[in-house]
Amino acid sequence: MEILGLDIGGSGIKGAIVDTETGKLITDRYRIETPEGAEPEDVAKTVEKICHYFEYKGPVGVGFPSIVQHGVILTAANVSKNWIGKNINLILSQATGNQIYSLNDADAAGIAEMTHGIGKEYQKGVVILITIGTGIGSAIFSDGVLVPNTEFGHMLIRGKDAEHRASDAVRQSEDLSWKKWAKRFDEFLLMMEGLFSPDLFILGGGISKKFEKYAGYFSIKTKIMPAILLNQAGIVGAAMYAHSMLEQLR
């Protein structure tokens, strides 16, 4: 099935039409910068622009940087606090005229990577995907089954949210070397390793394509690999999620 997938992030809103059976993008990716402040009305207008760009009418899958419980936003770390308590499915459906199906953005990336990426070879045991960008997102799978809305990037390390110490945005803003950044991120991985004893860590987001620059600085024992789908995973997973929700309605 061909479905529009959207990945809403703190810096950009990206979309493409996806073949949900193969996980391939069947259009080029289209990106618009996230409106300053990421207020609900402004984000909705941007999503409408992307739907119009693709001349798309139909179900839309949306990954959003928040805990998303049955369409309701419960947290807002990298977007406006005015999202909290709002139903994103309703807001975006009204703006676009399309049926919206939303989930946590890292969960979307995880669904894609576990189905069409590295994770398809690890359907037994515990797999943790971590997305690194404006913040740090997480998705955890046990025997291939997603435990949604984990948001481990907000665990406290040295008195700060992990993402406020070791996201890619922090690396760039503090002009950290790859070694210095990796040492910070390693603290996060060690904590996750101690809590969950995973079989595999998968690193996603744009930084995953630079894996060789920092992989040698980690001290964890768990196997760690870059995501195959890179920063397309959120788009693919969002579309796949919308497809799965449609299947449940049949």
On whether the CB atoms of residues 105 and 7 are closer than 8 A, the answer is: yes
Q: What SS3 string covers 126-186?
A: EEEEEEECCCEEEEEEECCEEECCCCHHHCEECCEECHHHHCHHHHHHCCCCHHHHHHHHH
Q: If pLDDT is split at 50, 70 and 90, which confidence band does 96 have?
A: very high
**So what's the architecture of 2-107+232-249 in CATH?**
2-Layer Sandwich (3.30)
Cα-Cα end-to-end distance for the chain: 14
pTM higher than the cut 0.95: no
Q: Does the fold of domain 120-227 match that of domain 2-107+232-249?
A: yes
Q: Kindly list the domain boundaries of the chain, sorted by start residue.
A: 2-107+232-249, 120-227
pLDDT digits (tens, 9 = 90+) for 123-133: 999 999 999 98
pLDDT digits (tens, 9 = 90+) for 8-30: 998 899 999 999 999 999 999 99
Domain 120-227 sits in which CATH superfamily? ATPase, nucleotide binding domain (3.30.420.40)
pLDDT digits (tens, 9 = 90+) for 59-81: 999 999 999 999 999 999 889 99
Kindly write down the DSSP assignment for every residue of 75-87, as one continuous string.
--SSS-GGGTT-B
Handedness of CA 158, 172, 235, 79 (dihedral sign): positive
pLDDT digits (tens, 9 = 90+) for 167-177: 999 999 999 99
